[in-house]
Structure 1
């Protein structure tokens, strides 16, 4: 399992920092959706997920199955991610037209490396990631972490460091230990807290009732979940294609919000390996993070420059960029596709 799995923040450091320089050269080539078309006149678009299919990608799955993309003239093929698939590299190299990652640090780190990808929309407005603890030793606030042992994968260290920094807790007051990616160390008392998405029902169900949860978003680490992104070249040369993609995507997410039971049925029909009960519970937990006052104001997919800048500034304080200068906001996001689709989102 990797941090980009639904029970984790995605491979924030590994995704971006592991992209080879050859990707930069390959990114100069044209994306697959830039020319040609299918026999029925639809424009083919390859959409690369950061992880396997789940409620995190329900918007695009619904949009495919309900025909929302087809109504925009697009034939969207969803490519699943996984622990050995570097989605950012695939999009940056032009092998996929657009992508989704689980969390915004992947794109921030890519920008710091000079990888030419930009966020064009976000699937949810607030991140449901945080640190869970057992009922008998509940941790409910960042201050409760003092003197405790926190388990994290190596790529998750940046998140606990960011949480400590945002709350004025000295790093030496918390013991951070490298663990695997299963819940066992928490269940057996080897650590006092461990990271999870609040929408990962199958993972959280293993915990006894009454567990504690310290959310990142509520405690000063305001990351964006599920950002959608494309290359700078794609945004410049194929804006109409991306506008059509975002319009179909927005309809898919709205449908899932308004018709959760049917949306879960669509999801598990498309991917029969998924457990319907888990996905229904996960979707119910995710939707309050996906649709907030920000979506009421700016529509689905809206992004705030203030939130992006806060992320950049906080990650810079904990040296998340590996000694490289923090990226400027224009190298991280591009609002042009959202601006052009405001009436449809």
Structure 2
């Protein structure tokens, strides 16, 4: 009996030793990457290059992130991010306004400016002579018929001494600005970094009315990166990791626009390569511009635009100063 007991004790000790040895020899598995979805506002373009650079160069991976860049669903990035279907999205300050002025807003907050200044405006062929806003009178303008859009057009025209009522508003079906300007319309709202550069690449002579030149209240942010509030409140360090990687992506695009353009083209080979390269070169000076760092949102400008919307009855209620954005997650 005693021998049997000693045998069992010996076997137990050996078993424990073997298990301990095996555990010590088993290599530690790497920590699982944190999965993040970023929803674009539109099909891939040079507004998004920094995201694709961060993905291609491993900047997300360095932060322990596994990022999926998604094209937007029918309801847009705001709806899916606000509903918790994705962590981050890209949008525009004007399109975000109705949400922030709602009695039941979706839980989203802008956390970085992708481009520092508003680079949208009205483009027309040079031969039409629309070199000031008042000269839109008597010409056709392709409109999306959005209240904020039309109010901005009315403001710049009337401030310049023109009559908004004299503009021939036609429904916008524009999918190709270059073709539309040469056939169906006289003027249309564009984002210069893409359609403005495209007209130059294709050899069109144009006039361009840049909204930011016609009042500080029109120098709003387009586009911005926003986050789901519930996710950010629960995972502030992860939000900072995402922004750190994205910032590196845009800084690379600033320093290496042609290389960054090739990275975007690898992700979206259907794009016109010449337009992408020229757009990327132009945006290299726009991503940060005069801001202290990439992503910074200036509260005075942010509030000025939302204040103007409220004063002109374009939103349901006043948006509190400083509401809807934060710089707190940006890297130093």
Q: For the superposition of Structure 1 and Structure 2, which TM-score range results when normalised by the shorter chain?
A: 0.7 to 0.9
What is the DSSP-based 3-state SS (H/G/I as helix, E as strand, rest coil) of the residue aligned with 2:226?
A: strand
Q: Which residue of 2 aligns with 1:277?
A: 274
Post-superposition offset of 1:285: 2.5
1:224 offset after TM fit, Å? 0.7
- CA drift at 1:117: 0.9
Q: Answer yes or no: is 1:139 the counterpart of 2:133.
A: no
Q: Is the 8 A contact 1:135 1:210 kept in 2?
A: yes
Alignment of 1:192 with 2:192, yes or no, is no
From 307, 310, 316, the equivalent of 1:316 is 310
Aligned length: 294
8 Å contact 1:131–1:196 — kept in the other structure? yes
**1:172 counterpart (165, 186, 205):** 165
CA shift, 1:69, in A, is 1.0
Deviations 1:18-39 (A, max 9, x none): xxxxxxxxxxxxxxxxxxxx97
Q: C-alpha separation between the residues in 2 aligned to 1:106 and 1:39?
A: 41
Partner of 2:301: 307
Give ranges in structure 1 of 5+ residues lacking alignment.
1-37
Offset at 1:331?
Answer: 3.4
Counterparts of 2:89 and 2:133, CA distance in 1: 33
- Counterpart in the other structure of 1:328: 320
Aligned twin of 1:16:
none
Query: 1:209 aligned to 2:204?
Result: yes
User: Matches of 1:328 and 1:232 in 2, distance apart?
Assistant: 17
CA deviation string 1:124-154 (max 9, x = no partner)? 1112211111121121222322443322122
Contact 1:162 1:315 in 2 (8 A): no
- 3-state DSSP of counterpart to 1:45: strand
* Residue number in structure 2 paired with 1:122: 113
* Partner residue, 1:236: 233
Question: Which stretch shows the higher mean deviation, 161-170 or 258-267?
Answer: 161-170
> What secondary structure does 2:284 align onto?
helix
**Do the aligned partners of 1:161 and 1:171 also contact (CA within 8 Å) in 2?**
no
- Find the partner of 1:93 among 83, 87, 94: 83
Match of 1:262 in 2: 259
Q: 2-side partners of 1:260 and 1:207: how far apart?
A: 20
Q: Which moved more, 1:87-96 or 1:214-223?
A: 214-223
Moved more, 221-230 or 268-277: 268-277
C-alpha distance in structure 1 between counterparts of 2:202 and 2:164, whole Å: 27
Counterpart among 200, 215, 219 of residue 214 in structure 2: 219
Show the counterpart of 1:28.
none
Distance 1:161 1:89, change over 3 A: same
**Structure 1 vs Structure 2 CA RMSD:** 2.3
Deviation at 1:53, TM superposition (A): 1.3
SS of aligned partner of 2:122 = strand
TM-score (norm 2): 0.81
Q: Report the CA distance between 1:240 and its aligned residue.
A: 0.6
CA positional deviation for 1:327: 2.0
Comparing 143-152 with 40-49, greater Cα deviation is found at 143-152
TM-score (norm 1): 0.78
Q: Is the 8 A contact 1:162 1:318 kept in 2?
A: no
Give, in whole Å, the separation in 2 of the partners of 1:262 and 1:203.
19
CA distance change for structure 1 residues 320 and 226 in 2, over 3 Å: closer, same or farther?
same
Q: Distance in 2 between matches of 1:258 and 1:228?
A: 21
Detail structure 1 runs of 4+ shifted over 6 Å in the superposition: none
The equivalent residue for 1:112 is 101
8 Å contact 2:255–2:284 — kept in the other structure?
A: no
- In structure 2, what is the equivalent of residue 31 of structure 1? none
SS of the equivalent of 2:285 reads helix
Q: Secondary structure at the residue paired with 1:331?
A: coil
